[in-house]
Amino acid sequence: MKYKILFILVLITAPSLAYAQGASTNLETEVVRAEPMPLQAGQYADIWIRITNTGSADAPNPTFEVLDTFPFQGIENTEWSPRGGIAAGETLNWRTQVKVNSNAVFGQNGLEIRKTSGPDGTSITDTLDLSVRTDDRSLIVSSLEFPERVEPGSTGYMTLSLQNLANSQFRNIDVSLDVSDIPVAPRETSRKRVTSIEGGDSRDVRFRLDVDGDAENQLYKLPIQINYQNQAGQELSVTETTGINVGGFPNIDVAVDESDIRTSGTRGTVTFRVLNKGEGQARFVGIQLEESENYEIISEDSIYLGSMIADDYQTAEFDLYVEGDVENLEMPVKVEYRDGDGDQTLDFNVTRELYTSSELSKYGMSQSSNILVPAVLLVVVGLGIIYYWRRRKE
């Protein structure tokens, strides 16, 4: 009799147990969209969350809530309950807005969603991964002060202004100058440290740089490496590049150094003096004497002089035949060279005053090409006559 009663109870309760075990809700959440993507530390973001009831029973009154857990803080529409519930197999979308903490760590960060459902109000917390980007350019070199040009063997002061564009503090800021490939050496150290810079603030870093005395006149690239940490301890870095322009500006001038051409209608040599009166070096200097109707160039018309440092000079000689009836010998000269700004060309019109024969006699000057050569010939002829006369007499 007892066994019959137990069997009847099992038959009555079995369907209800089977229904209780098989009919259940399962609310799954996933992020389907985020703006911006990836999320930016210190900024607001809109998040769209897809909720799907994958269970076999309806969820009549579920609620969903964004939990304030680092690095996310709920801002708008942070709690949501769909009207009418969520039927089995149904999918709904929920938009919420959060703010990302400015000290968020780069990479995946968890957004926690608490979901509550069922007659007993059971709560479960889901963690949804969101990609967060931290801007390593938030610390920038806002300005850099350094002389426009520094001469070889001189000293210049370089001041960098570091600006924190973020809303939070940066700390352990190391500023390093890479001078391994340039003729410049920091007087004290190539690395300076700033303990911290608050959000929106600026700090100056100053270096004293010595330029080698034999440094060539040109523009050198100077890499600047900045390493720092945010408040979360994340290591960040940024690289900048500036230039150091070594050498002042050359200042080239040309004049006649000496000449044995004193009258027109003669042949002679003109020596030009090419002088660098500036503070910078001129490289690959060459001088060319241009053609003119007043003379004929007998020698080469161009001469390469090479490099000319500050307060240096070179000379260049040209052989000319000067046409007749020229009072002032005008000689157009072109000088080409290279400095820190590239290739340069200068044109000069060098003038040499000529004299007439009467003026040469009046001033007591002689023309080597007219007088010296005949005088030498006369001496040679005279010596020959004397030698011949003595030999004959013997």
**pLDDT-based confidence at 20, cuts 50/70/90?**
very low
Instruction: Give yes or no for residue 381 having a pLDDT over 60.
Output: yes
Mean pLDDT of 202-223: 90
Instruction: Give yes or no for residue 53 having a pLDDT over 70.
Output: yes
3-state secondary structure 85-143: CECCCCEEEEEEEEEECCCCCCEEEEEEEEEEECCCCEEEEEEEEEEEECCCCCEEEEE
CB contact at 8 A, 353 and 328: yes
Instruction: Give yes or no for residue 387 having a pLDDT over 80.
Output: no
135 or 221, higher pLDDT = 221
Q: What percent of the chain has pLDDT over 70?
A: 84
Domains of the chain, first to last: 23-133 (2.60.40.10), 139-245 (2.60.40.10), 252-371 (2.60.40.10)
Q: What's the whole-model pTM score? A: 0.46
pLDDT of residue 10: 43
pLDDT of residue 359: 67
pLDDT of residue 298: 93
Instruction: Give yes or no for residue 7 having a pLDDT over 80.
Output: no
pLDDT of residue 166: 77
pLDDT of residue 205: 96
Q: What are the contacts of 331-335 at 24+ separation with CB within 8 A?
A: 331/270, 331/289, 331/290, 331/292, 331/295, 332/289, 332/290, 332/292, 333/254, 333/272, 333/287, 333/288, 333/289, 333/290, 334/287, 334/288, 334/290, 335/252, 335/254, 335/274, 335/285, 335/286, 335/287, 335/288
**pLDDT-based confidence at 160, cuts 50/70/90?**
very high
Mean pLDDT of 305-334: 90
Mean pLDDT of 306-314: 89
Instruction: Give yes or no for residue 236 having a pLDDT over 70.
Output: yes
pLDDT of residue 137: 62
Instruction: Give yes or no for residue 366 having a pLDDT over 60.
Output: no
146, 72, 79: which is closest to 110 by C-alpha? 72
pLDDT of residue 368: 47
**pLDDT-based confidence at 281, cuts 50/70/90?**
confident
222, 346, 337, 335: which is closest to 281 by C-alpha? 337
Which residues make Cβ contacts (< 8 Å) with residue 260, sequence separation at least 6? 268, 269, 368, 369
**pLDDT-based confidence at 11, cuts 50/70/90?**
very low
Mean pLDDT of 382-392: 71
Would you state the structure tokens that stand for residue 271, as one six-digit string? Answer: 């020596």
pLDDT of residue 362: 62
Counting every residue written for the chain, the total comes to 394
Name the least confident of 25-34, 53-62, 253-262, 362-371.
Answer: 362-371
Mean pLDDT of 312-316: 93
Name the least confident of 51-60, 97-106, 194-203, 251-260.
Answer: 97-106
pLDDT of residue 333: 96
- Mean pLDDT (the chain, rounded): 84
Q: What is the C-alpha separation between 68 and 113, in angstroms, rounded?
A: 9
Please identify which residue in the block is written with the tokens 């700004």: 341
Instruction: Give yes or no for residue 393 having a pLDDT over 80.
Output: no
